[in-house]
Amino acid sequence: MKFSYAAVFASLLFLSVSTLTRAQEALPPSQLAKLADLLTEAERNNPQIQAARHAWQSAQHIPTQVSTLPDPQFVLQHVSVGSPRPFSGYTNSDFAYVGLGISQDLPYPGKLRLRGEIAKKDADVTQQKYESVRRSVLAELKMTYFQLGYLAKRQAILEGDGKLLQQIEQAAEARYRSGMENQHDVLQAQIERTKLLREITKDQLEAGKIQAEIKQLLNRTQSSPDIETAELSESLAGGTYDELLAAAKTNNPEIASAQQMVEKQRLQVDLAKKDFYPDFNLQYMWQRTDPTQFRAYYMVTLGVRIPIYRGRRQRPELAQAEADQHRARSEYEAQTQQIAFQLRQRFLSAEKSEELLKIYREGLIPQARAELEAGMAAYQSNRQDFQALLASFLDVLKLDEEYWQTLSEHEMALAQLEEITGLSLR
C-alpha cells in the first residue's frame, strides 16, 4: 500500500506534465528574432521615440520665429473739418486729410539675435532629450531580451535536469523494490520533480510578462506571435573605466543637455542686460488733402520705449537670470557626477560578472557535474545514500541556473554601459 501511494503521486505528476505540454502546444508559434533587428524595429516604431523625435523637429522651427522682427502695422487715417461727415472740409481746409502709414517695432540691437540663440539652445536640449529617450528604450529592450533569453535557457535546464531526476527516481524505486531503500527517498525524488514543474510554470508566467513588455516596446499588438530569442552568449567588453568615462562625457545626452542649459542661461543673462536699453518704433505717414489746392504731407515718427521701472522689472529679471545660470551650472556638475557614479556601478558589474562566469565555467560547474556522476555510480552500487546524491543533483541545478543568470546580468550591464556611453561594446 505504501508503494501504491507513490504510484498515485507519480500519476498526478504525469498528468500535470501532460497538461503543461498540451498548453505549450496550443500557444501560437514563436519566431526567432535577432536583437539587432528588434532594435531597428523599436527605433522605427516605438511611440515614445517617435514623440520625442517630433518634439525635437517642432523645436527646430522656433528660432526663426523669435529672431524675426515683429509684423509691421499699416495705418489708415481720415480727418474731416466742420462736420462729422466723411471728407467734410476736404476741399477748403488743409486740416482735412486722408492718410496712409506704416509702423515697425524695432527691438534694441542684439535682442532678436539672443532670442534666436536661446531658442536654438532649447532645440538642442530637446534633441538631447530625444536621444536620451531613444537610448533608454533601446536599453530597456536589450535588457528584456536578455531576461527572456535567460528564462528560455533556465526552462531548458529545468527540463533537462528533470529527465536526470527521473533517472534518479527510477533508481530509487528499483532500490525500494529490492528492499534497499525506503519510501521517503522515492517520495522526495517525486517532490523534487514537482518543484521543477512549479519552477517551469513560474518561468513561463514571467516569460509571458516579458513578451508583453517587448511587444509594447516594439509597438506590436499583444496578439502577435511571441518572440524567440537567440541563445545567450558572453560578450567581451573592451575599454577601461577612464575610456568609458571620457566617452560618456562626450556622448551622454543627459550631460549634453545640462551643458546646453548652462549655455542657454548664459544667453538669458545677456538678454536680461539688453532689456535695460530702450526699444524703438519707426512710423512713416503719407497724408493727402485736396490735390488741386494743397500739397501732400509726409511724416516720419520715431518712438522710444524707455525702461523707467528698472528697479521693479529689469533688475529682478537680471537677478533671476543670474540665479538660473548658477542653478544650471550646479545641475551640470551634479549630472556629470551622477553619470560617473552610474558608469562605475555598471562597469564593476560587468567586470566582476566576467570573473564569476569564468569561475562557474572552469571550476564550479565541471566539479559539481563530476561529483554528481560519481555519486550516481556510487548510489547505483550501494556505496552512497540517496540524500547525498540528491544534494549533488541540486548543486548542479543551482550552479547551472546561477551561471546563466550571471550571464544575463553581464549582458544587461553592458546594455546599460552602451546607454550611458553611446558606444557599441559587443
CATH number at residue 33: 1.20.1600.10
Task: Assess if residue 426 is contained within a domain.
Answer: no
Residues 176 and 97 in one domain: no
Residues 6+ apart with CB under 8 A from 50: none
For β-strands 97-106 and 31-33, DSSP reports them as: unpaired
Residues 249 and 374 in one domain: yes
Task: Assess if residue 369 is contained within a domain.
Answer: yes
Residues 6+ apart with CB under 8 A from 332: 255, 258, 259, 261, 262
> What is the reported pLDDT for 111?
96
> What is the reported pLDDT for 157?
80
> What is the reported pLDDT for 11?
40
Residues 183 and 260 in one domain: yes
Cα–Cα distance list, 295 to 95, 286, 328 (Å)? 12, 11, 62
How far is it, in rounded angstroms, from Cα 257 to Cα 123? 10
Residues 290 and 159 in one domain: no
Buried-state track 174-210, b at ≥16 Cβ within 10 A, e below 16: ebbeeeebeeebbbebbebbeebbebbeebeeebeeb
Radius of gyration (Cα) for the chain, nearest Å? 39
> What is the reported pLDDT for 29?
44
- Across the beta sheet with 279-288, the strand order is 73-79, 97-106, 279-288, 297-305
What pTM did the predictor assign?
0.80
Task: Assess if residue 204 is contained within a domain.
Answer: yes
> What is the reported pLDDT for 75?
93
Task: Assess if residue 98 is contained within a domain.
Answer: yes
For β-strands 97-106 and 279-288, DSSP reports them as: antiparallel
Each of the 426 residues of the chain gets a pLDDT tens digit; together they read 333 333 433 343 333 334 334 434 444 445 577 899 999 999 999 999 999 999 999 999 999 999 999 999 999 988 888 777 777 777 777 778 889 999 999 999 999 999 999 999 999 999 999 999 999 999 999 999 999 999 988 888 877 766 666 666 666 666 656 655 555 666 666 677 777 788 888 888 999 999 999 999 999 999 888 888 888 888 877 788 999 999 999 999 999 999 999 999 999 999 999 999 999 999 999 988 877 777 888 999 999 999 999 999 999 999 999 999 999 999 999 999 999 999 999 999 999 999 999 999 889 888 888 887 787 777 666 666 667 777 777 888 888 889 999 999 999 999 999 999 998 887
Residues 19 and 82 in one domain: no
Task: Assess if residue 237 is contained within a domain.
Answer: yes
How many domains are there within the chain? 2
SS3 labels along the chain: CHHHHHHHHHHHHHHHHHHHHHHHHHCCCCEEECHHHHHHHHHHHCHHHHHHHHHHHHHCCHHHHHCCCCCCEEEEEEECCCCCCCCCCCCCCCCCEEEEEEEEEECCCCHHHHHHHHHHHHHHHHHHHHHHHHHHHHHHHHHHHHHHHHHHHHHHHHHHHHHHHHHHHHHHHHHHHCCCCCHHHHHHHHHHHHHHHHHHHHHHHHHHHHHHHHHHHHCCCCCCCCEEECCCCCCCCCCCHHHHHHHHHHHCHHHHHHHHHHHHHHHHHHHHHHCCCCEEEEEEEEEECCCCCCCCEEEEEEEEECCCCCCCCHHHHHHHHHHHHHHHHHHHHHHHHHHHHHHHHHHHHHHHHHHHHHHHHHHHHHHHHHHHHHHHHHHHCCCCCHHHHHHHHHHHHHHHHHHHHHHHHHHHHHHHHHHHHCCCCC
Residues 355 and 338 in one domain: yes
- Is the distance from CB of 42 to CB of 138 less than 8 angstroms? yes
Task: Assess if residue 372 is contained within a domain.
Answer: yes
If we measure between CA atoms, which residue out of 42, 417, 54 comes closest to residue 237?
417
Residue entry with cell 524695432 = 106
How far is it, in rounded angstroms, from Cα 324 to Cα 116? 19
How far is it, in rounded angstroms, from Cα 305 to Cα 111? 14
Domain containing residue 363: 2-69+107-275+313-421
Residues 207 and 293 in one domain: no
Residues 168 and 299 in one domain: no
- Is the distance from CB of 404 to CB of 232 less than 8 angstroms? yes
> What is the reported pLDDT for 412?
94
> What is the reported pLDDT for 170?
63
> What is the reported pLDDT for 384?
64
Residues 9 and 127 in one domain: yes
Residues 268 and 284 in one domain: no
Amino acid at 384: Q
Looking at 286, 305, 324, the residue that finishes a domain is 305
Residues 41 and 90 in one domain: no
Task: Assess if residue 179 is contained within a domain.
Answer: yes
Residues 92 and 150 in one domain: no
